[in-house]
Every structure is written in structure tokens, then in C-alpha cells.
Amino acid sequence: MAKIKVGFVGAGTHANLVHYPSLALMDDVEIVAICDINKERLYSTAEKYNVKKTYTDYRRMFEKENLDAVYIIMPPHILYDIVVEAIENGLNVFIEKPPGVTSYQTYSLSRMAKREGVHTMVGFNRRFIPLIRTVKEAVEREGEIVYCTSTFYKFYKADYGYYNGAIDILTCDAIHAVDMLRWICGEPKKVASIIKGFGVEYPNSFNALIEFEKGKVGFLRTFWVAGSRLHTFEFHTIGISAYVDPDDKASIFYNNKPPVVITTFEVAGSRDRIFYYGFYNENRHFIESIKNDEEPLTNFHDAYKTMKLVDDIRIAGLNI
């Protein structure tokens, strides 16, 4: 294929911040058509990226356009039916996290994608952040990571959870921290958790101790009424420790020696967030997977495993 022909369902804020600009930089990608029910953002996005075909009905776009892939960047509680129709039309599909409201939805989409032979990807962009990948590889050169902490704090104090209570904080957003633990440590064996609601009438702090395969240990720390956003990671093996803030820098300690410090901008070679925070790389990975007829790293089946761990954390918290 000379160019991968892409359609979009959704012209909202996140899509315009990271996905449209990433794809627009790729010579082997053509954004053929955009669909959105909000005509103002539909036409402004189409004009910005010189996209000639616009739709307010995604079914018509799937029917009329000869697409290789579709980006469906929609809220999780209205995502499912659109993704089903895309899969049934034989389209490779990219969606944002979370991949549905429940793990069962994700499992069903995974089975449909396998049946139809299409490739799928979920936007767990932390796995594609250049600083995190570089540090992970540096630690693993010294030994297998056996101890990991994933921390995610934000300030969010609305009357309900996300999308007016349609989906909880852990599933919708803190899932990024959960997915990182799985990517670093493998598949979970045992989960203990404490879930609390601080200052609101719904859970907004999810904390877990997880035993992974091969005896690896992971900690999840999330607190959604913190003083500010903080999203950091720790990777440890015997005698080696790395402390990573992907918005800033990483410090790697080797056997009690002064740290090796690496900045996120240095590794990414850019101060543009689409590059240093992994968005360009995840989009590039999806396009390359289509061209090579390979399953992306964060495909629907892999995303189901992260959603299942989210379930396990929630269930363990209920049993305290």
C-alpha cells in the first residue's frame, strides 16, 4: 500500500491534540474522511488538515469510503456499537483507552476482531514514551525488573465520576497506571487493594499490591484529589533502581553510585508533547502494524487483560 487511508470518527479535543497532528506528519498516511455530529469542530478539523470528505453519520462514511483503518476517538460509554460496525466492515481500528466500559465489552470486541481478521489498537501511550522505553531497557540490561511502582495523582472533584458518572476513575483514566504495571511485570497472580473516596461520594483513590508471574511485585497508587497532577514510575532489579517522571527526567542508580540522569526531551529529541509523551510513536506503531499485517502491541486482546486486572483490583477492594 502506497498510503494507509484513514478515517476518523471524532474531531474532539484529544483527537486534535495528538492523533490528527501525528498522522499529518506521516508521508505514508492519508486522512481521507472525518465524521462528527458537531459540525463546527467537524469542519474546522477538516479545514485544518485539508480533509475533503466530511460526515455526520459514521455508517455512511464506512459505506462510501475505501478505508484501510479508522480511528474512533469517542467517550467509552458510546464507543462499543461504532467499533462493532467498523470491525464488521473489515476495518483496522484504533481507539483510546479505556476500550469500553467493561472488560466483557473489550473481550467481545477482541473476539470479533479475530473473527474478521482485522488489527486493533488501544491508546496506552505510556508504553511508547521514549524516556520510559529507554529506562526500561537500561534496567533490564542489568537484570529482570522484579519490583515496580506506578503512581498517578490528579485533582478532580466533580459531583460524579467521568462523563457524569458513566464510568469510574480507575477504568477511565487511572487504567494507564494499571497497564504500565502489566507491561513491566507480566500477568498478575494475586491482588490486594484498598479503595477509598476522599471528599466525594464515589471512589477516587485506588491502591493495590499485586503479585505478578515469577514472583514480581507491583504497587499501584492513585489519588484523584491531590494538589496537582503527578504521574511517575519506579523500576527495580537487584542493585539497580530507576525513578521516572516522563514529563521531566529519569534517575537511574547503579549499586549505590551517583545517578545517571536522562531528560525526557533529550531522549525524545523534541519538546513537542506528541513526541516526548509517546503519541506519535503509538500512532506510528499502529500504521506499521497495518503495513506489516501484524497485531499491534496494545491490541484489543491485550487490552482485555488490563481491563481484567482493573476488575481484580476493584473486586479485591470490595472484599476488605
pLDDT tens across 141-163, in order? 999 999 999 999 999 999 998 99
Q: Of 166, 162, 149, which is closest to residue 230 (Cα–Cα)? A: 149
Average pLDDT over residues 280-291: 98
Supply the pLDDT for residue 1: 58
Provide the phi-psi class of 185: left if phi over 0, else alpha when psi is between -120 and 50, else beta. Answer: alpha
Chain segment 172-181, per-residue pLDDT in tens: 999 999 999 9
pLDDT at 283 over 80: yes
Beta bridge partners of 210: 191, 218
Supply the pLDDT for residue 319: 63
pLDDT at 320 over 60: no
Average pLDDT over residues 192-216: 97
Name 93's Cβ contacts closer than 8 Å, sequence gap at least 6: 69, 70, 72, 83, 86, 87, 113, 118, 119, 120, 121
pLDDT at 318 over 80: no
Q: What is the mean pLDDT of the chain?
A: 97
* Segment holding 70, helix H or strand E: strand 69-72
Domains and CATH numbers, the chain: 4-124 (3.40.50.720), 126-271+300-318 (3.30.360.10)
Supply the pLDDT for residue 2: 82
Average pLDDT over residues 57-85: 98
Task: Please give the model's pTM, rounded to 2 decimal places.
Answer: 0.96
Cα separation, 300 vs 97, in Å, equals: 10
pLDDT at 60 over 70: yes
Cα of first residue to Cα of last residue in the chain, in angstroms, is 54
Supply the pLDDT for residue 172: 97
Average pLDDT over residues 86-101: 98
pLDDT at 31 over 60: yes
* Segment holding 223, helix H or strand E: strand 217-223
pLDDT at 202 over 60: yes
